[in-house]
Amino acid sequence: MAGRRYPFRACAGAGACPARYRAGAGHTGARQPCSLNDDYDRFLAATRYFNWRIHVNRNLHAAILATALLTTPATAQTVEKHANTPAGLILQSVTVKPGATTLYLSGQLAAPIDPASKIPPAQLTAADFGDTKIQTISVLNKIKAILKQHGYAMSDIIKLTVFVAGDPKLGGKMDFAGMNDGFKQFFGTTENPGTVARSTIQVAALAGPAFLVEIEATAAR
């Protein structure tokens, strides 16, 4: 026991001390290591065992956590789309769960049919942008390009808000069918079988008299 300084008391007799601490065959009451040393040894042993259990438990918990992370799908579904019953052209609703990243796009307007046109923007007319269907296709192509810039795809769109101005050729009524025809070229297709939640609103006018369609998009994944 060299190097240790244990507490001790006067030995009470030959039977009071463990054999390993006895200095001789008999005891005379001299002050020497006694049963307090055994208590101290047990205390140290218990402390070492307790510390060992803490270490083991920490390692076990770390292993369980690592296993859970490894077994969790990397592509966990964070966006859940709910179809109408029966299924229709658009969704009933969409649930965006914690962990999803959402991208909000400002309203987009159509580009001129001829991108090389030299006509000043202020002088462009409805004929330069096309009817409601053509403008819808133009706007959705712009949205597709913006999504791609941010690493998203059309399939990541969860909601569209479509503003449609009345078409003078239809007596000031919006061309809802034409807008849907343009919409169908991007949703429910081979490239993008899914669809989106959508609201369609007729407005009195948009930013310019030549515009018939403006679309806001929200994407999440």
pLDDT for the residue numbered 154:
98
Residue 167: give its domain's CATH number. Answer: 3.30.1330.40
Tell me the pTM: 0.66
DSSP-derived pairing of the beta strands 213-220 and 79-83: unpaired
Do 63 and 118 belong together in one domain? no
Do 61 and 154 belong together in one domain? no
Do 65 and 93 belong together in one domain? no
Q: Which residues of the chain have pLDDT under 70?
A: 1-44, 49-57, 60-76
Residue 14 lies in a domain: no
pLDDT in tens, 76-106: 689 999 999 998 999 999 999 999 999 999 9
Q: State the residue range of the domain holding 152.
A: 79-220
Do 60 and 143 belong together in one domain? no
Residue 178 lies in a domain: yes
pLDDT for the residue numbered 72:
44
Final residue of a domain: which of 71, 100, 131?
A: 71
pLDDT for the residue numbered 8:
46
Answer yes or no: are the C-beta atoms of 21 and 6 closer than 8 Å.
no
pLDDT for the residue numbered 117:
84
Residue 143 lies in a domain: yes
Residue 87 lies in a domain: yes
Residue 156 lies in a domain: yes
pLDDT for the residue numbered 64:
65
Task: Report the C-alpha gap between 143 and 103 in whole angstroms.
Answer: 12
pLDDT for the residue numbered 55:
65
Q: Count structural domains, the chain.
A: 2
Residue partners of 36: CB distance under 8 A and separation at least 6: 6, 7, 8, 9
Task: Report the C-alpha gap between 205 and 213 in whole angstroms.
Answer: 9
Q: Quick check: helix, strand or coil at residue 168?
A: helix
